Amino acid sequence: MNWIEPEDVESGPAGPELSDAQRSCWRERGFALVQGLFSPELLEEVAEDARAIFPAAGSPEAEAVNDFGSAGLMHFPAESRAFNTLTLHPDFLRAVASLLDAPVREIRLTQSELWPKYGRRERSGGVWDNDDQRMHCDYLNHTLTHPPPWEQPEAVEAILYYSDHEACGGATGLVPREGPRDPAYAWPRVNMPGAGALPWRNDRENVEALLREQAPDVARWRATHLYPREHRARYRPGSLLLYRHDTWHRGTPLRPGCLRLAHNFTFRRLESEWISTLHAGWAWGMLRRSRVMEELIARASVDQRCVLGFPAPGDPYWTPETLVAVAARYEALGMDIGPYARAVAAR
Ligand SMILES: O=C(O)CCC(=O)C(=O)O
Ligand SMILES: [Fe+2]
């Protein structure tokens, strides 16, 4: 097995940042596995909140979970403040923006959801079971289109692991792109279930058997160019896999009885509206009893608000009227309307 080891981030003037090597690995090979972007304390807080919500490893409820998702229990904005803080952590946003060569204000969050995956004895999900996944790209359920050519990435996808591969297994498999003529990365990226007329299935054995019958060329191509080139990400708590909607990868089986906590993110470029936000709109997280989201908006930085689509200082939305109104909504919760007001005054 070829292993990918997590590499430490560098320390920069504003905090931890990706190294040039990590950025070019993401740009050229399609992923980078990095360590040290988040503090162990923040990671532990999120993991604790997740363990309090999801079924315990080895429980009968766990044995029945055979697909991904948090069933609405842990996606942005979550009741867990640590989860929200981590999602919009300034070091994380800077790292993502640096991959897209964009200012933080020009990236948008479209996914932040924590998924439990349980090692099970039975593949109870049949052809849709997520334990031993087929090789795939994620764009099919993130964008209405197809990712643009490789050199113009419009999104960063990420998996943050809260568990340890040594204990759980289930390392994510990836096919590194080897230059512009790599046959595995030939254009367009459609040799997978769910693209064109190929029906959607998840389980690797089922998928490849079905393809051998229905699309033997595709099955042969996948057996030649994808599976033999799979590398595995040797994650530990805090490892962050930065990858893309057009990177070949798959989930692999966990040790029975184990729980792996993995947090999935996507950030897109401002312009790429065809990349959907996967959860309910952020304002739908407001008017909860806890008021977590209103407080978050009130106390976030200008850049963090932009990442959620809040208008930047200088946006035509801001007028003397809207300044007064938004301040009336949020100032009592701690918002400083100053940056928006100064931009209006300077117009
Ligand atoms: O769980 C993993 O390691 C990867 C999961 C994945 O690729 C997916 O569900 O789309
Ligand atoms: Fe995936």
172 Cα–ligand 1 center, Å: 7
137 Cα–ligand 2 center, Å: 6
The owner of tokens 């029945």 is 64
Mean pLDDT of the residues in the chain: 96
130 Cα–ligand 1 center, Å: 8
Question: What pLDDT, on a 0 to 100 scale, did the predictor assign at position 72?
Answer: 83
Domain positions in the chain: 2-279, 287-347
For residue 309, pLDDT beyond 90: yes
Question: What pLDDT, on a 0 to 100 scale, did the predictor assign at position 63?
Answer: 80
Separation between Cα atoms, residue 239 and residue 22, nearest integer Å: 13
281 Cα–ligand 2 center, Å: 23
Question: What pLDDT, on a 0 to 100 scale, did the predictor assign at position 328?
Answer: 98
Alpha helices in the chain (DSSP H): 20-29, 40-53, 60-63, 81-87, 90-100, 165-168, 204-214, 216-225, 292-299, 302-307, 320-330, 338-345
Separation between Cα atoms, residue 241 and residue 283, nearest integer Å: 29
The response to whether residue 163 sits with its C-beta less than 6 Å from ligand 1 reads no
128 Cα–ligand 1 center, Å: 13
CATH no. of 2-279: 2.60.120.620
253 Cα–ligand 2 center, Å: 14
Least confident stretch, 14-18, 122-126, 174-178, 191-195: 122-126
The response to whether residue 154 sits with its C-beta less than 6 Å from ligand 1 reads no
- What residues are paired with 231 via a beta bridge? 2, 174
Helix, strand or coil for residue 92?
helix
- Given pLDDT bands bounded at 50, 70 and 90, which one contains residue 68? confident
The response to whether residue 172 sits with its C-beta less than 6 Å from ligand 1 reads yes
111-154 residue pLDDT tens: 999 999 999 888 888 899 999 999 999 999 999 999 999 999 99
The owner of tokens 């099955």 is 219
For residue 67, pLDDT beyond 90: no
DSSP E strand boundaries for 231-332: 231-233, 240-243, 249-250, 259-269
Atom of ligand 1 nearest to the CA of 262: 1
Nearest residue by C-alpha to atom 1 in ligand 1: 251
The response to whether residue 113 sits with its C-beta less than 6 Å from ligand 1 reads no
Nearest residue by C-alpha to atom 2 in ligand 1: 251
Nearest residue by C-alpha to atom 5 in ligand 1: 251
Nearest residue by C-alpha to atom 10 in ligand 1: 138
The response to whether residue 116 sits with its C-beta less than 6 Å from ligand 1 reads no
315-341 residue pLDDT tens: 999 999 999 999 999 999 999 999 999
For residue 95, pLDDT beyond 90: yes
Q: Which ligand is nearest to the CA of 116?
A: 1
